[in-house]
Amino acid sequence: MVFLFRLLSHLPLAWLHRLGALAGWLAYLGSPRYRRNLQANLGQAGIDPALRGPAAAEAGKQALELARIWMKSLEETNAQVAEVCGWEFVQAAQARGKGILFLTPHLGCFEITAQYYSAFGQITVLYRPPKQESLQQMILAGRKRQQLHLAPADLSGVRALIKALKKGEAVGMLPDQAPKVGEGAWLDFFGRPAYTMTLAARLSETGATVLMAWGERLPDGRGYRLHFHPPGQPLEGDTLARAQQINHEIEALIRQCPTQYLWGYNRYKRPAGAEAPPDFQGPAR
């Protein structure tokens, strides 16, 4: 995998995206389980089923573009950013000095937002180590930058995030990632209960500025348009109320660019050991 990524990293982004689109289609056609998940999740969200093909192609692009992001220098990676929308919100948050909580769903190129920000300030990003040791080493090497730090998805990682916010730094996470049992709650996501992490909501209670962030993939390999903006409404209420609002904020982002969401991700899975909500019939994963 490392050798393959090194080879792919030398290709222009447009070529990577073409190859990725092909790979995405092949994965869609070749995996009945992946195809079922993608189609079911699109249907649950009320997205036009005709977008299943483009969504599969975008998922393939997302996988292969990692080669250029992880294997290139920060300067080369950030040179792929063609436009930034909402940077004034980031600058205002920096000036406020209370820390920044970037919430980046599985939408577009979700790897590039933290990389881009790290050129302007310290950021600690939550990640879940993969099972394969070789893949973990590649991810660690590719994601770590001088001002980008990784925090594992465990108690030590949570402490690192809190410490960074207390110092007025930024942290980032994928708020739509299914958590382990005991780390989430069943909340509505596109009209169906999804086991939702509560950590993002708890961190929003620290006084940090909350910003939604995602990297829109531009056509024909022209790079990325980054989006930063606060939630539509300030996060309020208790932890569960905030977590539910974050889900709705993610829904709003997805509707802006539905083909670039990672629909094949099993967002509605039931973590082993988690109690199912009354209307949930799916097996444990």
Per-residue pLDDT of 211-244, as tens digits, reads 999 999 999 999 999 999 999 999 999 999 999 9
Q: Would residue 37 count as lying in a domain?
A: no
pLDDT at 125: 95
Domain containing residue 205 = 79-260
* Two structure tokens written together for 168: 């007025």
Split into its structural domains, the chain has a count of 1
134 pLDDT tier (thresholds 50, 70, 90): low
Q: Which residue has the tokens 């299943």?
A: 52
Whether residue 99 is contained in a domain is answered as yes
pTM: 0.93
- Is residue 178 in some structural domain? yes
pLDDT in tens, 87-133: 999 999 999 999 999 999 999 999 999 999 999 999 999 988 766 66
For residue 103, give the nearest of 20, 254, 204, 236 by alpha carbon. 204
pLDDT at 271: 87
Q: Which tokens belong to 14?
A: 């447009």
Question: Does residue 17 lie within any of the structural domains?
Answer: no
pLDDT at 283: 46
Which positions ≥6 away from 284 have C-beta within 8 Å?
270, 271, 272, 273, 274
Compute the 3-state secondary structure of the chain and give helix, strand, coil in percent, each to the nearest 5: 45, 20, 35
Percent of the chain with pLDDT over 70: 94
What is the model's pLDDT at position 17?
Answer: 97
Of all residues in the chain, what percent carry a pLDDT higher than 90?
79
pLDDT grade for 185, boundaries at 50, 70 and 90: very high
Please report which confidence band the pLDDT of residue 273 belongs to, taking 50, 70 and 90 as the band edges: confident
pLDDT at residue 135 in the model: 67
Q: Is the dihedral of CA 178, 184, 189, 193 positive or negative?
A: positive
Distance of CA 145 to the CA centre of its chain: 18
Q: Is residue 30 part of a domain?
A: no
Average pLDDT over residues 61-68: 94
Q: Confirm whether 24 is domain-assigned.
A: no
Highest mean pLDDT among 4-8, 157-161, 270-274: 157-161
Whether 277 maps to a domain, the answer reads: no
